[in-house]
Structure 1
Amino acid sequence: MKKTLAMFLAAAMACSLLLTGCGNSDSGSASASGSAPSSGSSGDTIVLSCATKVAEDSFEGKTYQYFADLVKEYTNGSVEVQIYPSEQLGDSTTTVNNMQLGTIDMYIEGSTFYSGYGVDVLFTTSPFLMTEWEDYLELVTGEFGDLQMQQMEKAGFKMLCSDRSWQRGPYYVTCSTKPINSLDDLKAIKLRSADSAAFMNAMSFLGVSTTVVNYSECYMALQQGTVEAVNCPVSNVESMAFYEVGPYVTYMNCYPQELWPVMNLDKFNSLTGEQQEALVKAANDAAAYSNEELYTFTDEMIARVESDGAEFNMDFDCGVIQDALHDYYVGEAAKGNIPELVAQFLGLL
């Protein structure tokens, strides 16, 4: 079960050489520039490229393929989704930009990467601002969620999961090279961050040092000591093998997270009405399937990695950090850095 760095690099190099040797014979391969092959039709079939961040054999990766299978089924084969896992088409910032340009058709990931397109999402990665999924779901299925979808379409994107129900996680943990039992322990380590100003600013207020690392590079960053801790959905602990190099796994539910299956709006609008309805239905049904299976998978995964040496701490008091950040978030709301509807929902205004 252990993965060594040498094996990983050797496999990656072999795969790279294989793809190079094949030239353009494989229409499903990513190009050297990180762009997907242009979407189009094969006979009567429209093929859509879909980028993802996680490994294809992970829990999330399998649910993305389940979504792709549903699209094919619901469109009677007239539309197919080709999944490109593990950041094959670039990091999140690059992928979202290319999706807006239309060189990638779809992306399934968290919402934070749409903040630069006029979409109110930064609060979703504000740590310990909101910790309960039920509260988050209530927020995004109301007036504020409608506003987000309007902002997305104005920016050229189409959110496919109209139910807004695709839960990631179902909670977050921190994989670290040393135990974390208190806020002081957290302050004493180097924590990986996505490229999220909201997350980094809040952690800086707490006195926690952060370093931006692409998600696919976190294993090596932990192994080499670039960072000493990585936050991740608990469902990714095994598939990303973080527990091998960060064996102390601490419940630290910094925020609930929703997965966003998003499509280039022009490409979506180019489909027939029946095909559009099928894509939305497939996204909603894949979300329901994922949510139903997620907790069972997580419990079984935790048992597996514990038997392989990981140490889980499920008793970390997240309330201590919430209390420490309360005045900070009141100040952020007063400055307008938290959307007004969100601030009112959370009682910060």
Structure 2
Amino acid sequence: MKLRSVARALLFLGLAATATCAQAGNTFRFGYETSQTDSQHIAAKKFNEILKEKTQGEITLKLFPDSTLGNAQAMISGVRGGTIDMEMSGSNNFTGLAPVINLLDIPFLFRDTAHAHKVLDGKVGDELLKALEPLGLKGLAYWENGWRDVTNSKGPIKTPADLKGLKIRTNNSAMNIAAFKIFGANPIPMPFAEVYTALETRTIDAQEHPINVVWSAKFYEVQKYLTLTHHAYSPLILVMNKKKFDALTPELQQTLVSAAKEAGNYQRQLVAEDQQKILAGMQADGVEIITDPDREAFRNALGDQVRDMYLKDNPESARLLTAIDETH
């Protein structure tokens, strides 16, 4: 009897330990570069709330904003290696691993925001996320960075000629860098966390980000002019370590993906609602806003040069471009 009691006690302790480990394993570390005032952090908290509710606490998130876990490239490496569970950053940060994703950085690819969302939430978006899976990344959802615009400290930018000679911080997208070279600017990729200081010290003259990021990062404090070029739509990709995703039950996997998409839609709405308030806030702070640049001149300056550059390296993706053009 005593042996049976001991065996039962050991079994109970083993099951309890297993349950504790399983529960601890479902607290996922989630990193991103933007500050706690940005819509990305607000939506990340919403994502955590949705997961807690839908899984009854079985999945929770520990949030790391402000590049706490490193810049985008470092975090992506961390997710692939399993030291970070989830990461969210602009699609351009994945193009070195999956060149097909460069497609999203082709300037003037999307007609408007609704068009971009329809493409990303459809078959084309799914195919691009699947390209990350052999790399150890599970794409969960697309969130919103928004339309990229140009700020600078030199003068109003209304046509491509006004960019000539400007030292502008770009992301590391080959498509984006090529576009600004064609415009006559001097593109300088650098990590997001270094941009404010570089602008403040005039190491660079300009940068290009969606205005919600310009606002949350306070770039407007060290930039005099904002031009709504809308030269590219910039989505965020939310990824998870694939092995950890695959280790979850099918039910939890489905819940995780649906919660990521739900929080992404929430964040998209936040970005849309904040646009006019952000513009008014920057204007009140002394920023001159050029709302009507000659976008047709920017399009014409590029022509098909950047698109052709992409197709030269990714000829099999011509069908994806066709699918995007035909999406209504």
Regarding TM over 0.5, the answer is: yes
Counterpart among 199, 217, 234 of residue 257 in structure 1: 234
Counterpart among 148, 153, 156 of residue 177 in structure 1: 153
Q: Distance in 2 between matches of 1:335 and 1:289?
A: 37
Return the offset for 1:333. 5.3
The structure-2 alpha-carbon separation of the partners of 1:128 and 1:279, relative to structure 1 and needing over 3 Å to count, comes to same
Residues 178-206 of structure 1, C-alpha deviation per residue, up to 9 Å, x if partnerless?
Answer: 22122111113111011222211222233
Counterpart among 316, 321, 327 of residue 343 in structure 1: 321
Instruction: Note the residue ranges of structure 2 that are not aligned, 5 or more in a row.
Output: 1-18
Return the offset for 1:54. 0.2
Q: Distance in 1 between matches of 2:194 and 2:20?
A: 34
Instruction: Note the residue ranges of structure 1 that are not aligned, 5 or more in a row.
Output: 1-39
Amino acid at match of 1:341: R
Root mean square deviation, CA, Å: 2.3
Counterpart among 130, 139, 144 of residue 119 in structure 2: 139
Q: Percent identity?
A: 27
Return the offset for 1:114. 1.8
TM-score by length of 2: 0.85
Task: State the match for 1:70 in structure 2.
Answer: 50
What SS does structure 1 have at the residue aligned with 2:66?
coil
Higher relative contact order (CA 8 A, sep 6+): 2
The structure-2 alpha-carbon separation of the partners of 1:105 and 1:119, relative to structure 1 and needing over 3 Å to count, comes to farther
Counterpart among 295, 301, 321 of residue 278 in structure 2: 301
Which runs of structure 2 are paired with 1:283-322 in the superposition (5 Å)?
283-322=260-299
Which runs of structure 2 are paired with 1:31-110 in the superposition (5 Å)?
44-45=23-24, 46-110=26-90
The structure-2 alpha-carbon separation of the partners of 1:134 and 1:105, relative to structure 1 and needing over 3 Å to count, comes to same
Q: Distance in 2 between matches of 1:285 and 1:41?
A: 29
What SS does structure 2 have at the residue aligned with 1:280?
helix
Give the conservation status (yes or no) of the 8 Å contact 2:160–2:184: no
Give the conservation status (yes or no) of the 8 Å contact 1:131–1:256: no
Return the offset for 1:89. 1.3
Of Structure 1 and Structure 2, which has the larger fraction of its residues in helix?
2
Q: Distance in 2 between matches of 1:90 and 1:133?
A: 30
The structure-2 alpha-carbon separation of the partners of 1:330 and 1:214, relative to structure 1 and needing over 3 Å to count, comes to closer
Which runs of structure 2 are paired with 1:152-167 in the superposition (5 Å)?
152-161=132-141, 164=142, 166-167=143-144
Q: Distance in 2 between matches of 1:131 and 1:82?
A: 36
Amino acid at match of 1:234: I
Give the conservation status (yes or no) of the 8 Å contact 2:51–2:59: yes
Q: Distance in 1 between matches of 2:226 and 2:20?
A: 45
Give the conservation status (yes or no) of the 8 Å contact 1:105–1:263: yes
What SS does structure 1 have at the residue aligned with 2:56?
coil
Return the offset for 1:43. 7.7
Task: State the match for 1:26 in structure 2.
Answer: none
- Which structure's CA Rg is the greater one? 2
What SS does structure 1 have at the residue aligned with 2:157?
coil
Residues 89-127 of structure 1, C-alpha deviation per residue, up to 9 Å, x if partnerless?
Answer: 111112111211111110111222222323511122233
Amino acid at match of 2:61: V
Q: Distance in 1 between matches of 2:244 and 2:311?
A: 39
What SS does structure 2 have at the residue aligned with 1:271?
coil
The structure-2 alpha-carbon separation of the partners of 1:172 and 1:331, relative to structure 1 and needing over 3 Å to count, comes to closer
Amino acid at match of 1:177: S
Which runs of structure 2 are paired with 1:107-256 in the superposition (5 Å)?
107-118=87-98, 120-130=100-110, 132-161=112-141, 164=142, 166-169=143-146, 171-178=147-154, 179-256=156-233
Q: Distance in 2 between matches of 1:70 and 1:314?
A: 37
Return the offset for 1:130. 3.7
The structure-2 alpha-carbon separation of the partners of 1:272 and 1:135, relative to structure 1 and needing over 3 Å to count, comes to same
Amino acid at match of 1:44: Q
Task: State the match for 1:16 in structure 2.
Answer: none
Count of residue correspondences: 305
